Amino acid sequence: MKRLTTTAAIIALTAGTAVYAQESNMDAAKDNADAAVQNAEQAMENTGDAIAQETDEAVAEGEQAMEEAGDAMAEAGDEMKQEAEEAGDAMAEAGTEMKQEAGEMAASVDGMFNGSPDGLIRTRDITGGAVYAVDADGEAMEWDDGMSYDTVSDDWDNVGEIEDIVLNADGSFRGIVAEVGGFLDIGDKHVLLELDSAKFVPIDDGSYSVVTNMTKDQLMELEDIDESPMN
C-alpha cells in the first residue's frame, strides 16, 4: 500500500512538471509571436517613413526644378523683350534714316529742277537738250548742291546730249542718260548722270539743258549703261 502511494505521488509530480513545461513553452511562443508582430510593425513603420521621406524629397526636387524652369523662362522672356525693343529701335532708326534720305533726295530734285514756272517738268522739254561741263579743264571747283542756274554760261563746255530720263523702281527721279563722245553717233557712249552731279538749266524756249561738275573725260570713264542690266 505504501508503495502504491509513492508511485501515485511520482506520477502526479511528473504530470505537474509536464503541465508546467507545456505552459512555459506556450508563454515563450506567445512572447515570440508578440516580438514578431512588433518587429513587423516596426519594419512597416520604418518602410512608411522611408517612403514618406523619399516622397518629400521627390516633391522638393520637382518644386526646385519647376522654380528653375520658371526662372529660365522669365530670363528668356526678358531677353526676347530686350531683343524686340532693340529691333524696334533699329526699325525706328532705319525709318528715320529713310525719311531723311527721302528728304535729301527731294531737296536734290528740287535743286536739279529749277526755274519751271508751273513747277512741272516734262520729259519732252528735257530729252535732246545739251549737256555742259561747268569745269571743262578739270580744275578743282566747288559744286554747291543748293546752287541753281538760270542760264547757260559761255565758259561751259558742251560735252554731250540728254538722251533719256531714268527713274528708280519706286518712280522717283534718279537722273538722266547722257550721250557723250563720238561724232554723228559714231563712237558715242551713254552714261548715267545722277542727281548729285547734275542740275537742269532752263532755256529761253522752255526746254532744258544739263550742267554737271564732271568733265568730258570723267563722263567717258563711266559705265556705258547700254551694256548694263538696266537695258
- pLDDT at site 108: 47
Task: Return the DSSP state at 186.
Answer: B
C-alpha cell of 103? 528728304
pLDDT, position 177 = 93
Per the structure block, which three cell numbers stand in for 19? Answer: 503541465
For domain 118-227, say whether CATH 2.30.30.240 is its number. yes
Q: What is the pLDDT of residue 231?
A: 47
Q: One-letter amino acid identity for 156?
A: W
Cα 19 to Cα 21: distance, rounded to the nearest angstrom: 5
What DSSP letter does each residue of 5-18 carry, written as one string? HHHHHHHHHHHHHH
Residue-level pLDDT at 39: 85
Q: Which residues of the chain have pLDDT under 70?
A: 1-23, 95-96, 98-120, 136-145, 182-187, 226-231
Where do the structural domains in the chain lie, given as residue ranges?
Answer: 1-112, 118-227
> E strands within the chain?
130-133, 157-167, 173-180, 189-194, 198-202, 208-212
Neighbour count for residue 192 (Cβ, 10 Å): 18
pLDDT at position 99 is: 59
Task: Give the three-class secondary structure for 117.
Answer: coil
Distances (CA, A) of 228 to 60, 192, 194: 72, 11, 16
Cα dihedral sign, 153-157-162-168: negative
Whole-number pLDDT of residue 84: 85
217 close to 208: Cβ distance less than 8 angstroms: no
C-beta of residue 189 within 8 angstroms of C-beta of residue 182: yes
Q: Residue 153: its pLDDT value, please?
A: 87
